[in-house]
Amino acid sequence: MGFQQRPAKPLLEVERLRKTFAHADSAAVERVSLALGEGELLALLGPSGCGKTTTLRMIGGFEVPDEGRVLFNGQDITHLTPEARGIGFVFQDYALFPHLSVLDNVKFGLRKLTRAAAKARAEEMLALVGLEELGKRRPHQLSGGQQQRVALARALAVSPQLILLDEPFSNLDAKMRVETRQEVRKLLKSTGSAGILVTHDQEEALALADRIAVMDKGRVVQFGTPDEIYSNPVSEFVANFIGRSNILRGTANGMSVRTAFGDLPMSRAANGAVDLAVRPEQIMLEPDPLGSATIIGREFRGHDQIYWVQEGDDCMIVISGPGAQYQIGTRVQLRICDCVVPLRAG
């Protein structure tokens, strides 16, 4: 599943968690292990039904695992209630109390403090998320992005070392998602809180997380930094879930592979028949009336453009800058201008 470097001093350790629900054909989570360092942001990324939310809920104490352990600061918390764990949780729907003001929502978890101390702490948290002027409003009077920040302020108010976020940006529009996720990353980094984010959005995971655990069918199939996972996917599933990839066939010999596009360098050694991942931005289009490939589709996106190119029986996806614009039907040659990645069988 890709090498997972263990933090020098793990804040959270998840050991072989397994969870099966009644009437299910297979386990929702199958022996997932993870380690998270202090102040680190981790994304659990995968398609719907892959087990990422169930994993998060077991870490938070909302589900009890059938097998495995959850260790927090070295203490086994597997069977503690959510309230006893000292972990913050931001729900997908924010779970704000509609009958309470924004300030009172943030104060809700501060019942151990005096009334004055709780009010001061709540005001401090609202200022931190830029909502100090909205403390008297009710949640329904706020935008989706503002509600999300109130939920985050409430979670941060109790000074947790770890915050769990379950699809926290799914209710926001595209522009607000981009703005809010950067605000959240900045806030968590400024407070020193670690965070685990559940998302099915690969762009969100790449932008927000220090490391990503890619999940499929209840398992972690690759674990690493965003750069590692994007540049060196271990399987066709990861290559196509984290961005887009063209899958080629070739015959490998060490660090080189023979393909229909000639001999190409590889990112890691392999031998024999291999499948290869080639990112669309690694391919150059060269107009050539005698070229062996034909542009069959084009999508202009402003900052770049996508071409679909037919090469024999294969359809290749190519991403180019906005400058060179070719019409559908143009004959071209394709040139791969970077290392290709050999994929794990299966």
Percent of the chain with pLDDT over 90: 60
pLDDT at 58 (0 to 100): 96
Q: Give the residue numbers spanning the domain of 336.
A: 244-342
Amino acid at site 56: L
Residues 79 and 202 in one domain: yes
**Residue that is last in its domain, among 213, 239, 265:** 239
237 pLDDT above the threshold of 90: yes
Q: CA 23, CA 298: separation in Å to the nearest integer?
A: 45
Which residue, of 187, 212, 239, is where some domain finishes?
239
Quick check: 172 pLDDT over 50? Answer: yes
CATH number at residue 307: 2.40.50.140
* 186 and 291 assigned to the same domain: no
58 and 174 housed in the same domain: yes
Q: What are phi and psi of 318, to 5 degrees?
A: -130, 130
| pLDDT 10s digits, 195-210 | 999 999 999 999 999 9
Query: Token pair for residue 83?
Result: 């309230």
Which pLDDT does position 67 carry in this prediction?
96
Inside any domain, residue 250 = yes
* pTM for this model (two decimals): 0.86
Distance, in Å, from the CA atom of 189 to the CA atom of 218, rounded to the nearest integer, reads 29
Decide if 223 is inside a domain.
Answer: yes
**333 and 252 within one domain:** yes
Pairwise CA distance, residues 183 & 190, whole Å = 10
pLDDT for the residue 4: 53
Span 271-329, pLDDT tens digits: 999 999 999 999 999 999 998 899 999 999 888 999 999 988 889 999 998 887 899 99
pLDDT band at 111 (very low <50, low <70, confident <90, very high): confident
> Which residue did the predictor score with more confidence, 173 or 165?
165
CATH of the domain at 54: 3.40.50.300
My answer on whether 270 and 329 are in the same domain is: yes
Question: 220 and 277 share a domain?
Answer: no
User: Does residue 174 form part of some domain?
Assistant: yes
| Domain end call among 239, 258, 288 | 239
